[in-house]
Amino acid sequence: MGVRLAEVLAALDAAYPPRLAEPWDTGIGLTCGDPDDEVRHVLLAVDVDPVTVRQARDVGAQLLLTHHPLLFRPVQSVAASTAKGSLLHTLIRSGIAHVAAHTNADRARGGVNDALAEALGLVDAVPLVPVTPPALDKVVVFVPVDHADAMVSALAAAGAGTIGDYTEAAFVSAGEGRFTPMPGAHPAIGAVGVAERVAEARVEMVLPPAHRADVVAALRAAHPYEEPAFDVYEMAPVAPAGGVREGLGRLGRLPAPMTLSAFTTHVASALPATAWGVRAAGDPDRVVQVVAVCGGAGGSELPSAAASGADVYVTSDLSHHVVAEHVADPARPAVVDVAHWAGEWPWLARAAAVIEAAFGAAVATTVSTLRTDAWTVHVAGEQDARR
């Protein structure tokens, strides 16, 4: 027996959180499929196209998981007479769901860029462009001691108290609350006009700002006083212990230095072969060891690679003028350009491992080795005549 598609989606969201996706990346997640349907076999591929959809049918998959979205740009029709509509119709008629993990998988720990860094043999890899740690609030509420546990549970249910893999995280300290009810008050403890002293607990918990209204509402509902005393603080972002592990690209180093020419050969041997091949810009004899990588189209991160102190930057889809201007300054890293598909393909095995770890033998996985790179023909030219 397999598992529900909804369970697979939850496992993928945990590994590649949707919050990490770029704001413009609207194609992630479930494209088609019923979350209640059973999944027994998953095909993993970089692209969703006629080749991989056909392969999904051939292997008997109920889910096609790809890196690239199917509906990445807005469409006005998904009629079967359109290219994307035809794929959707085939998937639905074949009982195959489709899920995309795109820029969320790029930025996630253990995602596309970690897989690329690992394939190239880099060590001590960290994000090239770390994700800014999320902002947090802290709520502090004063409550009678015998209500402290109930208050922690209520605030946690509303979204407070999650730190990493821990829930209901709170600090509770004892103290004394003092107040005097005035005319018009209806005190839960004490009497109007009489100064009161109560053994109280100070409860502190963190929460995402998006949950602020829900947490305050839960606090008021759970508190025995008609006027609870509480504070909500906005806290400065702080990187987690061990540094930020999520972000775009990776920066690592080779175990031993090598020339750019040798490194380019190394990259070509480490990644699946394509018609596009692997090409480099820079002095072939330049010694490189610190390496920046960015799976997919990484031209926008050339400045980040240059600022990182990398000796070489590995990415895809770079244009002539951008590269020419970049390498005109010898202080900047050399550039290695690989096929877009090849740079992202190593991630598929890692994603398959996520599914296997979550569901074991209940869900089989197949990693597609079919080349779906857009470039299909390459004619080799002469080597650099400037040497």
Q: What is the pLDDT of residue 26?
A: 87
Domain end position, chosen among 235, 262, 285: 235
Same domain, 123 and 145: no
Q: What is the pLDDT of residue 1?
A: 67
Contact, 70 vs 130, CB < 8 A? no
Number of domains in the chain: 3
Same domain, 114 and 152: no
Q: What is the pLDDT of residue 387?
A: 46
Same domain, 168 and 314: no
Same domain, 140 and 225: yes
Same domain, 259 and 298: yes
Region 314-322: mean pLDDT is: 96
Confidence of residue 8 (pLDDT cuts 50, 70, 90): very high
Position 380 in a domain: no
Position 374 in a domain: no
Short-list 263, 264, 247, CA closest to 255: 263
pLDDT surpassing 60 at residue 237: yes
Domain region containing 81: 3-101+346-367
Q: What is the pLDDT of residue 239?
A: 67
Handedness of CA 167, 168, 173, 177 (dihedral sign): positive
Confidence of residue 242 (pLDDT cuts 50, 70, 90): low
**Strands 196-207 and 136-144, bridge-based pairing:** antiparallel
CATH code, domain carrying 259? 3.40.1390.30
Position 275 in a domain: yes
Same domain, 124 and 211: no
Domain end position, chosen among 317, 338, 359: 338
Percent of the chain with pLDDT over 90: 85
The Cα 351–Cα 356 span in angstroms is 9
Min mean pLDDT across 65-69, 76-80, 95-99, 314-318 is at 76-80
Same domain, 9 and 158: no
Read off the pLDDT of residues 23-81 as tens digits, 9 standing for 90 and up: 899 889 999 999 999 999 999 999 999 999 999 999 999 999 999 999 988 888 999 99
Read off the pLDDT of residues 108-166 as tens digits, 9 standing for 90 and up: 999 999 999 999 999 999 999 998 877 899 999 999 999 999 999 999 999 999 987 78
Position 121 in a domain: yes
Position 276 in a domain: yes
Same domain, 303 and 158: no
Is 261 or 378 the better-scoring residue by pLDDT? Answer: 261
Average pLDDT, the chain: 94
Same domain, 321 and 358: no
Confidence of residue 384 (pLDDT cuts 50, 70, 90): low
The Cα 345–Cα 271 span in angstroms is 8
Q: What is the pLDDT of residue 241?
A: 62
Short-list 98, 41, 93, 97, CA closest to 68: 98
Same domain, 333 and 186: no
Same domain, 45 and 172: no
Position 273 in a domain: yes
Same domain, 119 and 249: yes
Q: Is 353 left (phi over 0), alpha (psi -120 to 50) or beta?
A: alpha
Domain end position, chosen among 235, 267, 298: 235
The Cα 276–Cα 375 span in angstroms is 6
Region 352-374: mean pLDDT is: 97
Position 378 in a domain: no
DSSP 385: T
The Cα 327–Cα 181 span in angstroms is 74
The Cα 2–Cα 160 span in angstroms is 34
Read off the pLDDT of residues 256-275 as tens digits, 9 standing for 90 and up: 999 999 999 999 999 999 99
For residue 219 the two structure tokens come to 């606090």
The Cα 79–Cα 315 span in angstroms is 35
Position 387 in a domain: no
Confidence of residue 383 (pLDDT cuts 50, 70, 90): low
Region 198-202: mean pLDDT is: 95
Confidence of residue 321 (pLDDT cuts 50, 70, 90): very high
